């Protein structure tokens, strides 16, 4: 028996193209759920016209794309029998109905997988869309070691089994879609990219994505971690230089400096960066194990760079810290300060 196809469309201040989109999806057999994310009275006529083809849900105020999608997902779980495929579609009409059908068919063929409709992004793409995609694609690859061509695609399909998982993933605005990819990658839930047509209407003028502000929101945890790491690096470097001037011992100076900076780093990362609420002793034990490993590897690397390669001892310290930055973030994010709900 063919599964029900349900299209979820988060919409904030849409154009009249939303009416055409909902009509075309309905004519192809989709059940359509539109979430008005606090667009205001000015857009009431558009949503009223859409109600002929879709169930329109309302937010009294603008809560963000992630929140709108979760509202749609919650409605589906309460009102549909379990056998269905869900596809999220952007409200601006830049996803074709044929591509929407295509990703739904892929979701049916691959139960338990997330299907992404990936654009080529090699054709003429508006500047802010290109900047946003390059930025988030790079951050995603650095954070996970995995490559996804189009991290910002709004065309995503999956079967009913994934809805409970999608509802517990954090994020209310554009960062939700990135958190979704990070969560699925971490938990080894299959992600499949299928190529779709690249369409930008009126140079993507209807998009509410702001390249700088929303990209910062998407990667704020990494930015906070970078700031914390840089601050503690300054402490570590100052202490290293001080102890080196007193003892002339590279290893001893590095160890003493790291003991001081690591204590500050643990406090900052637990309370401010990862907002971890687990038992402090438990987190501290995991952090200590990580810190000892990194300290040992860091010290060996530092001595190798200074004694074998011959780089200046102070310059070598900077090189070594940069090398261990990504390792430290990954271990702290997914092991030391792992949040509840991350599995």
- Delimit the domains of the chain by residue range: 4-218, 221-336
Give the homologous superfamily in CATH for domain 4-218: Spore Coat Polysaccharide Biosynthesis Protein SpsA; Chain A (3.90.550.10)
> How high is the pLDDT of residue 7?
96
Collapsing DSSP to helix, strand or coil, 60 comes out as coil
> How high is the pLDDT of residue 343?
46
> How high is the pLDDT of residue 101?
94
Whether 8 contacts 73, CB under 8 Å: yes
Which tens digits make up the pLDDT trace of 172-207? 887 888 888 888 887 889 999 988 776 555 444 445
The residue whose two tokens read 């949040």 is 339
Which tens digits make up the pLDDT trace of 65-78? 999 999 999 999 99
> How high is the pLDDT of residue 214?
52
Query: Cα–Cα distance between 176 and 170 in angstroms, integer?
Result: 6
> How high is the pLDDT of residue 295?
82
Query: Cα–Cα distance between 33 and 145 in angstroms, integer?
Result: 35
> How high is the pLDDT of residue 204?
46
- Residues of the chain whose pLDDT is less than 50? 1, 202-206, 208, 340-343
> How high is the pLDDT of residue 324?
81
102 burial type by CB count under 10 A (0-12 exposed, 13-18 middle, 19+ buried): buried
Whether 155 contacts 90, CB under 8 Å: yes
Query: Cα–Cα distance between 76 and 74 in angstroms, integer?
Result: 5
> How high is the pLDDT of residue 332?
72
Sign of the CA dihedral running 221, 277, 179, 336: positive
Whether 79 contacts 4, CB under 8 Å: no
Whether 243 contacts 314, CB under 8 Å: no
* Structural element, H or E, at residue 157: strand 156-159
Enter the tokens of residue 116: 């992404």
Enter the tokens of residue 210: 């702001």
> How high is the pLDDT of residue 4?
81
Whether 181 contacts 191, CB under 8 Å: yes
> How high is the pLDDT of residue 230?
81
pTM (two decimals): 0.64
């Amino acid at each position: 028996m063919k599964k029900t196809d349900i299209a979820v469309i988060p919409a904030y201040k849409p154009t009249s193209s939303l009416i055409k989109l909902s009509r075309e999806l309905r004519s192809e057999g989709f059940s359509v759920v539109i979430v008005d994310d606090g667009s205001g009275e000015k857009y009431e006529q558009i949503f009223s016209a859409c109600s002929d083809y879709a169930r329109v849900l309302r937010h009294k105020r603008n809560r963000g794309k992630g929140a709108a999608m979760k509202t749609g997902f919650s409605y589906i779980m309460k009102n549909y029998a379990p056998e269905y495929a869900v596809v999220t579609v952007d409200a601006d009409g830049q996803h074709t109905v044929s591509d929407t059908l295509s990703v739904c068919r892929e979701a049916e063929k691959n139960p338990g997988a997330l299907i992404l409709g990936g654009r080529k992004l090699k054709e003429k793409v508006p500047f802010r869309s290109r900047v946003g995609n390059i930025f988030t694609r790079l951050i995603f690859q650095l954070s996970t070691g995995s490559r996804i061509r189009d991290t910002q695609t709004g065309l995503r399909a999956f079967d009913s089994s994934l809805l409970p998982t999608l509802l517990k993933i954090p994020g209310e605005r554009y960062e939700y879609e990135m958190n979704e990819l990070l969560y699925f990658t971490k938990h080894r839930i299959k992600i499949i990219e299928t190529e779709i047509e690249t369409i930008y209407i009126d140079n993507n003028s209807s998009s509410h994505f702001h390249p700088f502000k929303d990209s910062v929101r998407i990667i704020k945890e990494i930015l906070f971690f970078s700031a914390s790491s840089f601050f503690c690096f300054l402490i570590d470097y100052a202490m290293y230089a001080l102890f080196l001037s007193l003892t002339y011992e590279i290893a001893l100076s590095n160890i003493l400096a790291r003991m001081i900076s690591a204590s500050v780093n643990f406090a900052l990362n637990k309370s401010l960066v990862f907002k971890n609420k687990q038992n402090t002793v438990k987190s501290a034990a995991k952090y200590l194990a990580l810190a000892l490993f990194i300290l040992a590897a860091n010290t060996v690397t530092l001595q190798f760079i200074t004694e074998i390669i011959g780089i200046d001892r102070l310059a070598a310290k900077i090189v070594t810290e940069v090398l261990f930055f990504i390792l430290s973030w990954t271990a702290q994010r997914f092991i030391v300060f792992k949040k509840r709900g991350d599995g």
